[in-house]
């Protein structure tokens, strides 16, 4: 079942909580306590805005066990606006064509489930970013 394995990552998975480096200001996701840029300690928590753009992407037709139900699905490298890349699935794409450079935003979705009775793992996925004017009109 491995509940604890997923539980301990909840603030990362639900809120994109990473870290920031005191010395050089670089933001880290996933958190690793040591700055990737300057190797200084980086333990101060930082919550990412969840906005970014697509750096690369792939649609997976041969899924691993546990992911068969939603294949084909698209996994992307997202460049967050604060700098780091993150690996995540794209969702809510409707008929939009995925492209490198496309603006996206983080949402929380089901990542995988383990059968009818099993644990459901939630976490971040990314969808096309809703333009600001559409938000204010609504």
Partner 1 sequence: MSDVSIIGIGKTDVGEHWNTSVRHLSWYAIEAALDDAATTDVDALYVGNMLAGRLSQQDHLGALVADFAGLRGVEAVTVEAADASGGAAMRQAVLAVKSGLVRTAMVVGVEKVTDETGSAVIAELATGLDADYELIHGLTAAGAAALLMRRYMHDYGVQLDDFAAFSVNAHGNGADNPEAMFRNRLAAERFATAPVVAEPVSLFDMAPLADGAAAVIVTDAERAMDMAPKPVQVVASTLATDTIALHDRREVLWLAAAAQSAEKAMSMAGIAPHDVDVFELHDAYTILAALSLEACGFAPRGQGWHLARDGEIGRQGSIPISTFGGLKARGNPLGATGVYQIVEVAQQLRGEAGACQVPGAQIGMAQNLGMAGGTAVTHILRADFSGNLEFSGK
Residues engaged in binding Zn ion (CB under 5 A): 21, 23-24, 26, 35, 37-38, 40
CA angle 69, 74, 138 (to 5 degrees): 100
Query: What binding mask, one character per residue, do residues 32-71 give for partner 1 by CB under 8 A, x or -?
Result: ----x------------------xxxxxxxxxxxxxx-x-
Q: Are 86 and 77 in contact (CB under 8 A)?
A: yes
Query: Token pair of 136, please?
Result: 């204010």
Paired residues of 123 in beta bridges: 109
Assigned token pair, 132 = 């600001």
Gap between the Cα atoms of 43 and 20, Å rounded: 7
Q: Is 16 in the site for partner 1 (CB under 8 A)?
A: no
SS3 69: helix
1 part of the interface to partner 1, by CB under 8 A: no
Piece in contact with partner 1 (CB under 8 A), picked from 17-25, 39-47, 81-89, 127-135: 81-89
Query: Closest distance between Zn ion and the C-beta of residue 30, in Å?
Result: 16
Binding site for partner 1 (CB under 8 A): 5, 9, 30, 36, 55-68, 70, 73, 75-77, 84-89, 100, 111-112, 121, 123
């Amino acid at each position: 079942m491995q509940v604890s394995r997923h539980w301990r990552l909840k603030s990362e998975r639900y809120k994109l909580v990473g870290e920031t480096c005191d010395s050089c200001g670089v933001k880290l996701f996933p958190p690793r306590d040591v700055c990737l840029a300057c190797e200084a300690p980086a333990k101060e928590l930082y919550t990412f805005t969840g906005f970014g753009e697509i750096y690369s992407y792939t649609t997976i037709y041969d899924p691993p066990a546990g992911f068969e139900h939603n294949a084909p699905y698209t996994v992307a490298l997202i460049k967050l606006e604060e700098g780091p890349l993150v690996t995540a699935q794209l969702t809510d794409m409707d008929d939009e064509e995925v492209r490198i450079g496309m603006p996206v935003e983080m949402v929380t979705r089901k990542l995988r489930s383990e059968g009818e009775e099993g644990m459901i793992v939630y976490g971040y996925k990314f969808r096309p970013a809703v333009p600001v004017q559409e938000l204010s009109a609504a």
